[in-house]
């Protein structure tokens, strides 16, 4: 059986996720099957002024190589690492060097193909939402990596927010006794305690109570991975760090659930590699802190890894065509 | 010029807000002009088993009195004080004595009129949203009364949540050193510090630091109103109470904004009568605690008072007909 081609909307779409280091690009059919996957470096020279042309050149080259005509392409989904307004305007991408631009409009003019733009974390959320077994209608997605980011899905669609800042779970005020400033300028953000750097910060503070009894003391440079590995081996300071971080994360997710009451919570990002060891601790704290009707909301691990944004960007095109 | 009647949907609708003490009912035209307003006691006997029949009888009597036929009525909007699922199922109303019932379906069978059901705070949110000068697309509404409730509007529509528990701002974990239990069973909910009772609790704790120097000591029984009034007159303990409460409220709204990033925040409920004196303090705390893109989100006072739920219920009918 062959897929019936959709002459109105095209038969394939591009899902493109612009990261600070690399651009991930997938060619998908309209049932979101990944046909081809590419990755090329993000050129951040000249305030990221070459990025969109690089993408346009890539798309043109692939179209020629694979024999696609304009009418074959349903659209390009574009995930960008910054706030994206409902009209597609990107409200600065510090990581790329971009100011306020409508990247979708520019890329569409360059390629002649409709472009659908979203925040990268929202795109990853949408990608993971579509992979989840439970089709809950709504979902909160949290990424634990260099920062703590997130995306929120309501009625199956990512929510942008009035300022392109919905689901900024990492900046919920949660650490009441924090004395240092977050990168955002506030004090006590979830990210300060629970990002990869935050885990190390938390460990360094806890280690002060442990003298030289912790195995963590034998490392010149700590990382979140080392701390999780030592905690799994039973080191008490590392365990206390993981418990503390999980407590903050559960509390942050409880705050989020008291507002959005999602049908599903998905945890992704590099730190989610710690698996059930971390997840079960987060669930415990979540249940302690959340309003009772939301106590049984499933908290699961993300499935798409670093490709979630690319899948979600493709989904944005597919959603727009249905 | 006369309003053109909409023969498809009817020309009027009922907006009904079921409270624990009284039922407020309005007859509205389809431009949401309030034509008649009624109020009658909530009969909570027999686990609230008479309430829906009372409403059906009221609607039938008004229809006869005013000469409305079934086809004139576009629908009944019903706000209930409990969690309401997307399909209209009410997931318990402790205040009314209700278990899990589909009140809309029952009332519709009694009256022969379509019924649209929502949580009372969501209905109030929708009512206030439609009154707001800024049509922001999204809004968070918080009511400061016996409890701290809320509603959330996204894309112009109230959000139910997967468990009918969206916008339960009162149960965000916010008071880190709370030792007593909230009515919900958790410790440290915003409601414990910032509801009308919460304000009194906060004052009682603060008064311990003030000996007999505070004017609040002259009252046998404290109330939120007394505390706000004495704070406005300059009593230091009362002022510290208001500052503490506003700090928690600003922080709670900052949590909410980090998740939903609404275009507008509206504060209602009995305590909002304290006016700019309270609002300006909440704004200060909000700006301190929120992620920077959301710093300028307007925080304004509600306009419809106790009628907000009734207006919102009518709006739910009007939305369903457009």
A233 or B94, which is more confident: A233
Whether the predicted pLDDT of B202 surpasses 50: yes
Please check whether residue A161 is in contact with residue B290, taking contact to mean a CB–CB distance below 8 angstroms.
Answer: no
Whether the predicted pLDDT of B159 surpasses 80: yes
Cβ distance A186 to B138 less than 8 Å, yes or no, reads no
Whether the predicted pLDDT of B1 surpasses 70: no
Cβ distance A288 to B256 less than 8 Å, yes or no, reads no
Q: What is the mean pLDDT of residues B175-189?
A: 92
B 290-319 → A contacts, CB under 8 A: 290-294, 297
Q: Which residues in chain A touch residue B159, judged by CB atoms under 8 angstroms apart?
A: 154, 260-261
Using CB atoms, pick whichever of B162, B255, B293 lies closest to residue A165: B293
A 3-22 → B contacts, CB under 8 A: none
Whether the predicted pLDDT of A3 surpasses 70: no
pLDDT band of A37, cuts 50, 70, 90: very high
Q: Which residues in chain B touch residue A288, judged by CB atoms under 8 angstroms apart?
A: 186
B53 or B320, which is more confident: B53
B 142-201 → A contacts, CB under 8 A: 152, 154, 159-169, 171-173, 176, 184-186
Whether the predicted pLDDT of B91 surpasses 90: no
Q: Which residues in chain B touch residue A92, judged by CB atoms under 8 angstroms apart?
A: none
What is the structure's pLDDT at B206? Answer: 95
- How does DSSP assign A193-239, residue by residue? HHSHHHHHHHHHHHHTTTTT-SGGGG-SS--HHHHHHHHHHT-HHHH
| Bridge partner list, B205 | none
pLDDT band of A70, cuts 50, 70, 90: confident
Using CB atoms, pick whichever of A251, A261, A291 lies closest to residue B162: A261
Using CB atoms, pick whichever of A162, A169, A290 lies closest to residue B263: A162
Produce one character per residue of A99-110: b if its CB has 16 or more CB atoms within 10 Å, e if not.
eebbbbeebbeb
> Which pTM was predicted?
0.90
pLDDT in tens, A138-159: 999 999 988 899 999 999 999 9
Cβ distance B163 to A261 less than 8 Å, yes or no, reads yes
**Lowest pLDDT segment from A38-47, A86-95, A124-133:** A86-95
pLDDT in tens, B232-267: 999 999 999 999 999 999 999 999 999 999 999 999
């Amino acid at each position: 059986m062959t897929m019936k081609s959709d002459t109105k909307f095209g038969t394939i779409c591009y899902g493109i996720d612009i990261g600070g280091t690399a651009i991930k690009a997938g060619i998908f059919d309209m049932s979101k099957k990944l046909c081809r996957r590419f990755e090329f470096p993000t050129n951040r020279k000249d305030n990221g002024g070459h990025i969109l042309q690089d993408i346009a050149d890539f798309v043109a080259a692939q179209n020629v190589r694979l024999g696609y005509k304009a009418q074959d392409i349903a659209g390009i989904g574009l995930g960008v690492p910054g706030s994206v307004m409902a009209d597609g305007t990107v409200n600065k991408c510090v990581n790329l060097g971009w100011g306020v631009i409508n990247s979708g409009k520019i890329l569409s003019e360059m390629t002649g193909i409709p472009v659908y733009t979203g925040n990268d974390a929202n795109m990853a959320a949408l990608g993971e939402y579509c992979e989840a077994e439970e089709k809950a209608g709504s979902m909160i997605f949290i990424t634990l990596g260099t920062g703590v980011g997130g995306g929120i899905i309501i009625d199956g669609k990512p929510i942008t927010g009035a300022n392109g800042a919905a689901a900024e779970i990492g900046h919920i005020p949660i650490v009441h006794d924090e004395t240092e400033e977050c990168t955002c300028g506030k004090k006590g953000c979830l990210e300060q305690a629970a990002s990869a750097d935050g885990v190390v910060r938390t460990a360094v503070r806890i280690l002060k109570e442990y003298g030289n009894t912790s195995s963590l003391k034998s490392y010149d440079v700590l990382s979140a991975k080392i701390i999780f590995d030592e905690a799994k081996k039973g080191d008490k300071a590392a365990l206390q760090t993981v418990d503390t971080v999980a407590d903050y994360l559960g509390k942050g997710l409880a705050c989020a659930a008291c507002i959005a009451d999602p049908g599903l919570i998905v945890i992704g990002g590099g730190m989610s590699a710690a698996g059930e060891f971390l997840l079960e601790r987060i669930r415990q704290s979540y249940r302690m802190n959340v309003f009772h009707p939301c106590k049984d909301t499933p908290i699961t691990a993300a499935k798409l890894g670093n490709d979630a944004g690319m899948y979600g960007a493709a989904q944005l095109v597919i959603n727009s065509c249905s």
